[in-house]
Amino acid sequence: MNTANLLRLIVLAAIWGSSFLFMRIAAPVLGPAVLIEYRVAFAAVFLAIVGVILKKRLDLAANWKHYLILGFINSALPFLLFAFAARTLSASVLSVLNATAPMWGALIGALWSRQAIAGKQVLGLVLGTCGVALLVGFDDVTTRPGAPLAIAAALLAAFCYSVASTYARSAKTVEPYANAHGSMWAATLLVIPALPFFPAPATATPGIMGAALALGVLCSGIAYIMYFKLIQQVGPTSALTVTFLSPLFGILWGVLFLSEHVGWHTVAGAAVVIAGTALVTGFTPFGARAIVAPSSTSK
């Protein structure tokens, strides 16, 4: 991972850390389905404009199945799950739960390549699980009605991201822009059937719509171009190390803009989750490459 890719990771972590802030603001008003339909539709339109300017093509005839798969497992489903959880959980808790994604990614990569999981990785998985337990076991938000289901939804969303990153790297070669653009249009179509079952519980204000717009353009459109580019450059497990930094930004934005309380359990839980993730992926801050399954090596 060179300096340019490291800077991309930091910027991407700051952007994705803010997504939990925006979801926490908008999900209680719009509900998960309406919010995510806005998010993916705004992202798709933004990327379509970028495509016209840059003269980029989607090649739908050849790649539509790929876009549908990626749009479902990397956007529609995890976005809906996180938006559902954001009605109950704080931005800080959501961002730390999202940090379990690299652990799932390494586990899926090992299963995908049919390799045995090393003892250090098993220890990392145990540590990560303990970190999540520490976080949610002492946080006041977990006592709210529906909190256990919200926690499960957030963890499942993180799992979806890991499945999607492994799929994106091992699937047919499609450029980062096309992956982001095509998957957003696919997600827009896939979320539509959920709208009649989950209508918006309240009327959106300009501020709420601004949060939805930021989720679409910044956290989905721009961020996914960067993310798929990182997958191409450093592989799926290494790209998922963006979630080492996302909790720091997620907690920071929650404190600055939502006045969320950060207790010792938040800091300790995040630290244990990150330590466990580092063990699972083989990541070190001194330049060692994260473990990448053979099926996920660069093409």
pLDDT at residue 299 tops 80: no
Intra-chain end-to-end CA distance of the chain, in Å: 16
| Contact in structure between 102 and 241 (CB atoms under 8 Å) | yes
**pLDDT tens-digit series, residues 201-242:** 999 999 999 999 999 999 999 988 888 788 778 776 666 667
| Contact in structure between 85 and 157 (CB atoms under 8 Å) | yes
- The whole-angstrom separation of Cα 192 and Cα 179 is 20
pLDDT at residue 253 tops 80: yes
- The whole-angstrom separation of Cα 229 and Cα 160 is 19
CB atoms within 10 A of CB 106: 30
Find tokens 């995908």 and name the residue: 112
Which burial class, exposed, middle or buried, applies to 3 when counting CB atoms under 10 A from its CB (0-12, 13-18, 19+)?
exposed
Show the CA angle centred on residue 224, arms to residues 204 and 22, nearest 5°.
25
φ, ψ of residue 293 to 5 degrees: the values are: -65, 150
11: left (phi over 0), alpha (psi -120 to 50) or beta: alpha
| Contact in structure between 238 and 103 (CB atoms under 8 Å) | no
**pLDDT tens-digit series, residues 40-87:** 999 999 999 999 998 988 889 889 999 999 999 999 999 999 999 999
Find tokens 């705004």 and name the residue: 42
pLDDT at residue 120 tops 50: yes
Please tell me the number of Cα atoms within 13 Å of 203 on its side-chain side. 1
DSSP 201: S
Higher pLDDT, 296 or 199: 199
- The whole-angstrom separation of Cα 290 and Cα 124 is 13
Higher pLDDT, 96 or 69: 69
φ, ψ of residue 6 to 5 degrees: the values are: -65, -40
Lowest mean pLDDT among 68-77, 132-141, 254-263: 132-141
H helix count then E strand count, the chain: 14, 0
pLDDT of residue 191: 98
pLDDT of residue 7: 85
pLDDT at residue 97 tops 70: yes
Two tokens at 128? 């990560």
